[in-house]
Amino acid sequence: MSELVRSFIAVEVGKAERRELLGLISTLKEAGADVKWVRPENLHLTLKFLGDVEEERLGEVKGFLDRAAYGTKAFGIHLAGVGAFPGIHRPTVIWAGVDKGEELLAGLAGKVEEGAAGIGFQKEERPFAGHLTLGRVRTRKNLSRLVSALERASFSSAVETKVDGVSLYKSTLTPEGSVYELIHRARLI
Catalytic residue among 78, 89, 131, 184: 131
Please report the DSSP string for 34-73 in residue order. Answer: -EEEPPGGG-EEEEEEEEEEEGGGHHHHHHHHHHHHTTPP
Cis peptide before 86 (omega within 30 of 0): yes
List beta partners, residue 167. Answer: 10, 185
Instruction: Tell which residue, 29, 30, 51, has the closest CA to residue 38.
Output: 29
Q: Is 131 a catalytic residue?
A: yes
Assess contact for 26 and 151: CB atoms under 8 A. no
What residues are labeled active site?
Answer: 44, 131
